[in-house]
A and B are shown apart, each in its own frame.
Chain A
Amino acid sequence: SQTIHQWPATLVQPVGSPLSLECTVEGTSNPNLYWYRQAAGRGLQLLFYSVGIGQISSEVPQNLSASRPQDRQFILSSKKLLLSDSGFYLCAWRGDKGGAPLVYGYTFGSGTRLTVV
């Protein structure tokens, strides 16, 4: 079965420090992978998605970047964190649920709570 791992669960970082959040998927190959951010009491904002190794699409301009060095690994990074980068970061992968029309299911990781101080 497919699983998704995301770490760390919580992180407190000072302003100006670098960031690296990692997400890995098991049990599937060539998945579409996603990074979402959620501010407290708000909805989900899509930050980046990737359809394959080295392929990154950014949905919103920001202080963050993403990379996909391996098929089942997706990394969210920043060189210098801002206070506004605080939030709950979620990784997700998209699986094919089949049927007609073809539809997909998203599975989310457990999230990383980032607090920039």
Chain B
Amino acid sequence: GAGVSQSPRYKVAKRGQDVALRCDPISGHVSLFWYQQALGQGPEFLTYFQNEAQLDKSGLPSDRFFAERPEGSVSTLKIQRTQQEDSAVYLCASSLALAGGEQYFGPGTRLTVT
């Protein structure tokens, strides 16, 4: 596709459920980033992949959060045992460069935990 796509666009989960959020980056983009955006705030970094290698996961808020990119393309962000504080928009971005390049964002997945 022409841009970064994410699915689902909206997800409602009951507290305690597991969720999986998918990101399809721009074809050929080496780097992939996940960010979390609370309402009215700027995005906050969660984790970063270079091809299939997860090089930085310092932003993941707890061990309930897990991300993978097994073939260096599509990525999945998984949240186990969701809590209300996990409610946010989860944004995926991809970049052609290995580091420091311009990032192109998907539309995000809005997660609501009830």
A binds B: no
